[in-house]
Structure 1
Amino acid sequence: MNGLLVLANGARFKGTLLGNVEGFGELVFNTGMTGYQECFTDPSYEGQILTLTYPLIGNYGANDEFMQTAKPAAAGYVVDQIAAHPSNWECKGTITEFIERYHVPCLYNVDTRAVTRELRKHGVMKGIIVRADRTEDEIRELLGQSMHHNQISRVTTPYPYVYGDGKYKVALVDCGLKKNILKSLAANDCTVHVFPAFTPAEELLSINPDGIFMSPGPGNPQDVPEIVETVRKLIGKKPIFGICMGLQLISIALGAKTFKLPFGHRGANHPVKDLRTGRVYITSQNHGYAVSDEDLPECMEVILRSVNDGTIEGIRHKTLPIQAVQYHPEAAPGPTDNFYLFKEFAQMMEENRK
């Protein structure tokens, strides 16, 4: 079936609709060459239509072991070619079967390079995936929908649970947790107590954790002042570590500001420089907001920066055991370059115990 991707600025891109499912969301792009199923199941894409710039998607198939959450979170996918005959020893099915199983809108045979140029020029914006026979009135009505701002509520766990059995007890605030974060913490001798995103600080502290972990998640950090207040109450009580949204929430709680990037950082090869050592790490990233350098509080030290645009990629507190990064060490770019961060968190908890 012929389909269209229509953007809020009027731009249109032709393609083929997979099935007949239509979609609405904020259109973004990811430049990764692999990891398409991990992207499709990353909670940070909640409410977004994800454009993949790599031209062939599905060449190594699909496997439920690659999923980062129980089901896809994105509002839709825009891709160029879909591989009909994948080849890989871990392949359990085609990516087409995976997408159709979860009824996610998908437009393929699209010039994704042109879509990416449009977003790089004008910034991310609302978009819709629709049948090509939709009338102009129907398209205007669909584009007129308001974006929702409760993304974290849509992806957080509905109930607490425990993962792993290690030396260090971690209270993890689930703002959009990925499976590999749990595996990485468990590999560093942690028992992870996962809590819903809006759990009060008192409940998190009631288990007497060795540390607090703030997970990644979707949306604007300024839309969840309740979680910021929770972090504020935890400061000075326990060691705290955060990833992506976790960094932004910790930074706001410490007194920093955040801002929206024009088209975000989404890909698997973003270079980040450690200002302490001069070493550059290859990182996986997925965020549309960043911490501002404007009026940074005195207590915060910037320890990592993006080589591409100079934005803040890592912070730590000058006197308290608090540290956070903007990128995703659990996504294994490198592939092991950034696993040291989980070890540093374990060290923070060990030193605090003493």
Structure 2
Amino acid sequence: MQTAAYLILNTGDILEGKFLHQQVVIEGEVVFNTSMMGYQEVMTDPSYEGQLVTMTYPLIGNYGCNDDVKESEVFGAKALIIQTPNHQPDHPTSTSTLKTLAEKTSVPIIYDIDTRHLTKIIRTHSNVFGKISSDPTDKVTMAHIDPDLVKKVSVKKSISIPAKDNKDVHLAVIDFGQKKSIVDVLNQAGAHITVCPYNTTKEMLDQLDVDGVVFSNGPGDPADCLPLIPTVKKIADHYPSFGICLGHQLLALSYGMSTKKLAYGHRGGNHAVKSIETGKVYMTSQNHGYVVCEDSVTDDFSVLFINVNDQSIEGLKHKSKPITSVQFHPEAHPGPTDTMHLIYDFVRDVTKKEVYSHA
């Protein structure tokens, strides 16, 4: 018999479900993801550190799990909240079930939750925090996001990944919580990669003799990273730079812009963004709760992309320096591959040692 699991929210709501594999007591920010697939990537994506993630698609585990798609070895969602688990997945690459993955990663999963109702609660209230417990009388004590999430998920020392061919380009990925798939796509595009800790300085990059820098995605509030901003600015002033998600926000902060919290964030693989330069609309994968404030964009930057649904900023480009950033995830793992060319363009243009531009 499965143990009853209760999701207790700071809104006063209590939702009842069951523990999939082990009974836990755990707290975190409650968010939702609208992707129809990608549960394994969510469970292992460092950007979800500290969060209890609700999958809005009702059937989770359909195609099983395999080690090839995990985004990190340890870090990811604090818990997964689903409606119906599949215990008999059907896919040629599947090597284990969702329950087995949960046991391996120690990510607790609760199911039989009315995820449609929960999503409506999250959309109605800002800053929803919750506790998973077997005791419905437990109280939520968490009221803010851990300010040290980036420090927690970043690598502790640099990791070198040689290029797959003979292209002469060396990129540093500053790890604020990078997904393995970002590094994989950069590597596939021909770059030698060095993944560096979040607090790497320009002087350290000089010693590594890199040609360009990618500021990675990561968890939490970009304002909690304000001590890093002078270093980000110094690096971007000297190296061709590309920012993704949190990296995009930190680049914006370093050049005098500001950020704000969205009501309930953008998380899923079906977010439409529009290119300001061409008018073309791309479908993108996204995972963030904060955005760059529209009225804070400085004269040195152009807006590259906007979100079709709420017109929030989805990309920036410096007018004279080789600095570009996007709020979405161009590596598209999981999600649509519409914007993956941005990563290949960056590697190509750094290889040419030219100031790049994206259509």
- Normalization by structure 2: what TM-score? 0.94
Partner-residue secondary structure (3-state), 2:185: helix
Answer whether contact 1:4 1:15 (CA < 8 A) is retained.
Answer: yes
Partner residue of 2:18? 16
Question: Letter of the aligned partner of 1:50 in structure 2?
Answer: V
For 1:124 and 1:192, the matched residues in 2 are separated by: 36
Inter-CA distance 226–338: structure 2 relative to 1 (3 Å threshold): same
Question: Shift of residue 349 of structure 1?
Answer: 1.2
Pair 1:122–1:128, CA change in 2 (3 A):
same
Does the CA contact (< 8 Å) of 2:301 and 2:317 recur in 1? Answer: yes
- Contact 2:331/2:337 (<8 A) preserved: no
- Equivalent position of 2:141 in the other structure: 143
Distance 1:116 1:190 in 2: 40
Q: Report the residue type matching 1:328 in the other structure.
A: H
CA deviations 1:9-59 (Å, max 9, x no partner) are 111111012221221100000000011101111110000000000000001
Matched, 1:259 2:260: yes
CA contact (8 A) 1:283 1:333 kept: no
Structure 2 counterpart of 1:130: 133
2:7 is matched with which residue?
5
Give the AA of the match of 2:209.
Answer: N
The Cα shift of 1:224 comes to 1.1
Q: Which residue of 1 aligns with 2:31?
A: 28
Aligned partner of 1:252: which letter?
Answer: L
Q: 1:334 to 1:24 in 2, by over 3 A?
A: closer
Distance 1:16 1:173 in 2: 39
Three-state SS of the structure 1 residue aligned to 2:296 is: coil
Distance 2:143 2:259 in 1: 26
Q: Which residue of 1 aligns with 2:154?
A: 156
Residue 101 (structure 1) shift: 2.3
Q: Decide whether the 8 Å contact of 2:177 with 2:219 is kept in 1.
A: yes
The question of whether the paired residues in 1 share the 8 Å contact of 2:284 and 2:336 is answered with: no
- What are the equivalent positions in structure 2 for 1:1-354 lying under 5 Å apart? 1-18=3-20, 19-131=22-134, 133-134=135-136, 136=137, 139-140=138-139, 142-144=140-142, 147-165=145-163, 166-332=167-333, 335-352=336-353
- SS of residue matched to 1:70: coil
Count of residue correspondences:
349
Deviates more, 1:147-156 or 1:326-335: 326-335
Please say if residues 38 and 334 of structure 2, whose CA atoms lie closer than 8 Å, have aligned partners that are also in contact.
Answer: no
Q: Is the 8 A contact 1:269 1:333 kept in 2?
A: no
Q: 2:263, 2:304 → 1: CA distance?
A: 23
What percent of counterpart residues are identical? 38
Contact 2:202 2:231 in 1 (8 A): yes
Deviation at 1:172, TM superposition (A): 1.2
Shift of the 277–69 alpha-carbon distance from structure 1 to 2, 3 Å rule, reads same
SS at match of 1:62: coil
Mapped contact 1:62–1:95 kept (Cα < 8 A): yes
Superposition deviation, residue 158 in structure 1: 1.0
Contact 1:321–1:348 (CA<8 Å) still a contact in 2? no
Give 1:3's aligned amino acid.
Answer: A
Deviation at 1:295, TM superposition (A): 2.8
Matching residue's letter, 2:6: L
Per-residue Cα deviation, 1:102-146 (whole angstroms, up to 9, x for no partner): 322221000000000000011241101110x35x3xx12x53576
TM-score (norm 1): 0.95
Structure 2 vs 1, CA of residues 145 and 220 (structure 1 numbering), >3 Å: closer, same or farther? closer
Contact 1:5 / 1:129 at 8 angstroms: preserved in 2? Answer: yes
Matches of 2:334 and 2:274, distance apart in 1: 15
**Matched letter for residue 17 of structure 2:** G
1:131-189 CA distance string (max 9 Å, x none): 0x35x3xx12x535764211101110011011132421111100011111111111111
SS in 2 for 1:247: helix
User: In the TM superposition, what is the alpha-carbon distance from 1:351 to its structure 2 partner?
Assistant: 4.2
CA RMSD of aligned residues (A): 1.6
1:75 to partner: Cα distance: 1.2
Q: Deviations over 1:265-320 (max 9, x none)?
A: 00001001011111110100000000001232110100100001100000000000
Change in 2 beyond 3 A, CA 1:235/1:226: same
Greater shift in the superposed pair: 41-50 or 204-213? 204-213
Distance 1:103 1:147 in 2: 21
